[in-house]
Structure 1
Amino acid sequence: MRWIKLENAVNVRDLGGLPAGDGVTRTGRLVRSDNLQDLSPADVTRLVEEIGVTTVIDLRSSGEVRSEGPAPLQAVTSVEHLHLSLIPEVGAMTDVAKDALAVNRERVLKRSPDDVAGAFYIGYLDDRPESVVGALRAVAEAPGTALVHCAAGKDRTGVVVAMALTAVGVPREEVVADYVATGERIELILDRLRSSPTYAKDIDNVPAHEHDPRPEIMSRFLARLDEEHGGVLAWLADHGFTTSDVDRLKAKLLDA
Structure 2
Amino acid sequence: MSTAPSPASGTTQGTAPDLLNLRDVGGLSTTDGRTVRPGVLLRCATPAFVDDEQVARLVDELGVATRVDLRSEKEAAEATSAAFDAVAVEHLEVHAGETRWDFDSAHLSDWVAGHYLRFTEHSPDSLVAFARLVGDPGRTAVLAHCTAGKDRTGTAVALTLAAVGVHEDDVVADYARTEQAMPLLREQFTRLPSYQERLAALPAEAFGSTPETMRRFLRLVEQTYGGARAYLRTHGLTDAELAGLERHLLGD
- Please state how far the C-alpha of 1:124 moved relative to its aligned partner: 0.9
Summarize the Cα distance change of 1:48–1:207 in structure 2 as closer, same or farther, 3 Å threshold.
same
Give the match for residue 59 of structure 2.
Answer: 48
1:227 aligns with 2:237: no
Cα distance change of structure 1 residues 186 and 104 upon mapping to structure 2, 3 Å threshold: closer
The answer to whether structure 1 residue 148 and structure 2 residue 144 are counterparts is yes
Runs of 4+ in 1 over 4 A off after TM superposition: none
Q: 2:27 aligns with which of 2, 17, 32?
A: 17
SS at match of 1:199: helix
Q: 1:134 to 1:172 in 2, by over 3 A?
A: same
What does residue 127 of structure 2 align with?
132
Cα displacement string for residues 131-177 of structure 1 (whole angstroms, at most 9, x for unaligned residues): 00011111111510011111110000000100111111110011000
Which runs of no fewer than 5 residues in structure 2 stay unpaired?
1-8
Structure 1 unmatched ranges of 5 or more: 88-100
Question: Please, what is the CA RMSD of the aligned residues?
Answer: 1.9
Identity over the aligned pairs, expressed in percent?
A: 33
Give the secondary structure class of the aligned counterpart of 1:198: helix
**In the alignment, is the contact (CA less than 8 A) between 1:37 and 1:72 conserved in 2?**
no
3-state SS of 2:194 partner: coil
CA distance in 1, matches of 2:143, 2:24: 9
**Residue-by-residue CA offset, 1:194-242 (whole Å, 9 max, x unaligned):** 2101212322323323310011111111101111111111111110111
Query: So what's the TM-score if we normalise by structure 2?
Result: 0.88
State whether residues 225 and 231 of structure 1, in contact with CA within 8 Å, keep that contact through their aligned partners in structure 2: yes
DSSP 3-state at the match of 1:19: coil
Task: Indicate yes or no: 2:238 matched with 1:242.
Answer: yes
**Correspondence for 1:26:** 37
CA distance in structure 2 between the aligned counterparts of 1:228 and 1:243, rounded to whole angstroms: 20
Secondary structure at the counterpart of residue 204 of structure 1: helix
Deviation at 1:65, TM superposition (A): 1.5
* CA 1:69–1:182: 2 relative to 1, 3 Å: closer
Letter of the 1:203 counterpart: L
Does residue 3 of the first structure (1) align with residue 14 of the second (2)? no
Query: If the length of structure 1 is used for normalisation, what is the TM-score?
Result: 0.87
> Is residue 10 of structure 2 the alignment partner of residue 36 of structure 1?
no
Cα distance per residue 1:49-104 (max 9 Å; x no partner)? 11001111100011202222553112x1xx321001012xxxxxxxxxxxxx4314
Is the Cα contact below 8 Å between 1:25 and 1:254 reproduced in 2?
A: yes
